[in-house]
């Protein structure tokens, strides 16, 4: 077997691989000898069929397997023997006719081409100066959270036969929806409990029930939104025949120890403490988002090296599919497609560059993702995916999704990648000089500028 470097331009590498026909034949004979003892052919005792006969029977199929094994092995080996790491999967281009190679009439010759990952020295992150924005939790946030919990625990009592339904009242209704005089799937219900103003129904539906009394019969007219999930109803006018069974008024819920006990806690003070902890965690994540963005900006500014075009193209294609599948932002509406593609390609380049920088920093620092964390993340992802598929009517269990991940290293790598990135970010932050700056809650809650350019 001979491997010859044909070209090396920038990050592109191309190798010529030659495997003589007699070397392939030796591999075939060795493989046939290996399975000979397990083959039982008519006219021969088990394991006694001559190799020449086995070659006629199984030679072509086995030679195809041998060629696939050689191509797979040498495609990677051509790079690793030269301490090169392919950025994309090496792909072969055959010079020989595969049929002739299989029949032993020709040597196996093919080119293998791929881009390699760039080599560079990442910046020294020790002493990197960063600012972490922090904010105090306003008392109003705690009060609002308590009020929301109280609303979730509200109970209702009958308002009275002649009382008119008001905003935030609960009405019990029976309804039948029709489009063009025909009932449609999912448009019928009985004994449905609806809180007016909750937005559970299509826009305009609840407004037309305000003022109704028990036993009233109503005709509610609405229009389904253009982006409605049921495409056969999107944008269409509908009429609902509604029977008001009962009107109920919310009973006031006191914010006290009894409220805390309703949600499984001992006291109001404990409830307030839990709420504060949750808000503090939310604020902490917002602070980290701004800090991480500043860190990535510094890493991006400090590195300039050639990027593998295949990686950038793949990242851009993923971004562009998301752009095409969503409505344009106000600031993008007047831009041409070429202008937008240029902007998003710049974002793709940033993401690839930062991904390579973080990977190299993590590699040199021997940053690891603990197996326990990875397994937990895989299990959580399996549960989420199973639930989503079940909502779409598919009968699948989390265990079945988990089995898929266990059998697909590439799928596992997609879960590991963001975990590894966060570990590398933590590593850098531990060595950086981070100072805190108090900002307003509103400022903290703003998305960092260019959020779409996160790695």
Task: Extract the tokens encoding 167.
Answer: 């905003």
Which residues fall within 8 angstroms of residue 403, CB to CB, at 6 or more apart?
none
Task: Say how far apart CA 16 and CA 110 lie, in whole Å.
Answer: 6
Lateral strand order in the sheet of 12-19: 2-9, 12-19, 108-115, 91-94
CA angle 166, 191, 391 (to 5 degrees): 105
What is the mean pLDDT of each successive set of 10 residues along the chain, which is 455 residues long?
89 93 90 73 65 78 90 87 90 89 91 94 95 93 92 89 93 95 91 93 94 95 89 92 95 91 93 95 95 96 96 94 83 86 95 97 96 94 89 85 89 94 97 95 80 40
Give me the pLDDT at residue 453, please: 39
pLDDT at 455: 39
Of 354, 364, 358, nearest to 420 by C-alpha is 358
Contacts of 273 (CB under 8 A, 6+ apart): none
Strands 170-179 and 433-438: unpaired
Q: How many CB atoms lie within 10 A of CB 80?
A: 10
Q: Are 191 and 243 in contact (CB under 8 A)?
A: no
* Spatial contact of 427 and 361, defined as CB atoms under 8 Å apart: yes
| Ramachandran quadrant class, 306 (left: phi over 0; alpha: psi -120 to 50; beta: rest) | beta
pLDDT for the residue numbered 413: 92
Q: Domain ranges for the chain, please list them.
A: 2-115, 155-251, 266-453
Q: Annotate 317-335 with DSSP letters as a single string.
A: HHHHHHHHTSPPPGGGTTS
Q: How far apart are CA 55 and CA 202, in angstroms?
A: 72
Q: Give CA–CA dist 92/295, Å, rounded.
A: 40
Return the structure tokens found at 293: 């963005």
Q: Which residues pair with 8 in a beta bridge?
A: 13
Q: What is the CATH number of domain 155-251?
A: 3.10.50.40
Query: Going by C-beta distance under 8 Å and a sequence separation of 6 or more, which residues neighbour residue 60?
Result: 102, 103
Number of H helices, E strands in the chain: 12, 11
The C-alpha atoms of residue 253 and residue 212 are separated, in whole angstroms, by: 25
What are residue 409's phi and psi, to 5 degrees?
-55, -35
Domain 266-453: assigned CATH number? 1.10.3120.10
Take residue 218 and report the two structure tokens written for it.
């109503």
Residues 6+ apart with CB under 8 A from 33: 51
Nearest to 434 by CA among 137, 123, 122, 125: 125
Q: How much is the pLDDT for 291?
A: 96
At 294 the pLDDT is 96
Ramachandran angles phi, psi of 371, nearest 5°: -55, -35
CB atoms < 10 A from the CB of 360, how many? Answer: 18
Specify the CATH number for 2-115; select among 3.30.70.1050, 3.90.190.10, 3.40.50.300, 3.10.20.600. Answer: 3.30.70.1050
In whole angstroms, what is the distance from residue 284 CA to residue 429 CA?
15
Q: Which SS3 state, helix, strand or coil, does residue 16 take?
A: strand
Q: Which residues contact 195 (CB under 8 A, 6 or more apart)?
A: 168, 169, 170
CA 436 – CA 291 distance, rounded (Å) = 10
pLDDT of residue 135: 94
DSSP label of 86: B
Dihedral sign, CA of 282, 290, 440, 134? positive
What pLDDT, on the 0 to 100 scale, is given for residue 432?
96
Please answer whether residues 115 and 215 qualify as being in contact, where contact means their C-beta atoms are separated by less than 8 angstroms. Answer: no
Cα–Cα distance list, 17 to 9, 14, 20, 361 (Å): 19, 10, 10, 34
Q: Which two tokens stand for residue 447?
A: 């998305």
Strand ranges, E, within 116-257? 129-134, 155-158, 170-179, 182-195, 217-223, 237-251
Q: Name the nearest CA neighbour of 352 among 219, 430, 453, 202.
A: 453
């Amino acid at each position: 077997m001979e491997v010859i470097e044909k070209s090396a331009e920038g990050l592109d590498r191309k190798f010529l691989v030659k495997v003589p026909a007699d070397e392939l034949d030796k591999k075939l004979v060795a493989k046939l000898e290996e399975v000979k003892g397990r083959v039982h052919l008519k006219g021969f005792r088990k394991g006694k069929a001559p190799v020449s006969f086995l070659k006629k029977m199984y030679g072509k199929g086995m030679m195809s397997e041998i060629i696939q094994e050689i191509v797979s092995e040498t495609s990677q080996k051509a790079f690793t023997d030269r301490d090169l790491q392919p950025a994309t999967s090496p792909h072969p281009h055959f010079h020989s006719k595969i049929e002739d190679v299989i029949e032993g009439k020709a040597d196996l010759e093919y080119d293998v081409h791929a881009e390699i990952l760039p080599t560079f020295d990442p910046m020294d992150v020790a002493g990197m100066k960063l600012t972490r924005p922090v904010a105090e939790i306003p008392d109003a946030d705690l009060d609002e959270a308590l009020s929301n919990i109280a609303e979730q625990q509200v109970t209702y009592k009958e308002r009275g036969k002649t009382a008119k339904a008001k905003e935030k009242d609960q009405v019990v209704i029976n309804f039948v929806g029709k489009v063009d005089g025909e009932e449609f799937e999912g448009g019928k219900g009985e004994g449905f409990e609806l809180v007016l103003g909750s937005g559970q129904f299509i826009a305009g539906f609840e407004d037309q029930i305000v003022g109704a009394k028990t036993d009233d019969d109503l005709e509610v007219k609405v229009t389904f939104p253009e982006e409605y999930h049921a495409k056969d109803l999107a944008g269409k006018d509908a009429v609902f025949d509604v029977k008001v069974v009962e009107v109920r008024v919310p009973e006031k819920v006191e914010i006290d120890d009894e409220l805390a006990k309703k949600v499984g806690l001992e006291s109001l003070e404990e409830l307030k403490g839990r709420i504060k902890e949750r808000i503090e965690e939310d604020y902490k994540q917002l602070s980290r988002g701004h800090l991480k963005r500043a860190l990535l900006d510094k890493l991006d500014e400090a590195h300039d090296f050639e990027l593998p075009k295949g990686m950038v193209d793949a990242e851009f294609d993923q971004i562009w599919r998301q752009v095409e599948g969503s409505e344009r932002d106000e600031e993008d509406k007047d831009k041409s497609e070429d202008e937008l593609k240029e902007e998003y390609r710049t974002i793709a380049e940033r993401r690839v560059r930062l991904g390579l920088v973080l990977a190299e920093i993590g590699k040199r620092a021997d940053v690891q993702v603990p197996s326990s964390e990875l397994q937990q993340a895989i299990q959580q992802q399996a549960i989420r995916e199973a639930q989503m598929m079940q909502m779409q009517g598919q009968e699948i269990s989390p265990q079945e999704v988990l089995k898929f991940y266990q059998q697909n290293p590439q799928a596992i790598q997609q879960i590991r990648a963001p975990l590894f990135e966060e570990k590398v970010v933590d590593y850098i932050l531990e060595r950086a000089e981070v100072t805190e700056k108090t900002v307003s809650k509103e400022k903290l809650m703003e998305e960092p500028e260019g959020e779409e350019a996160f790695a």
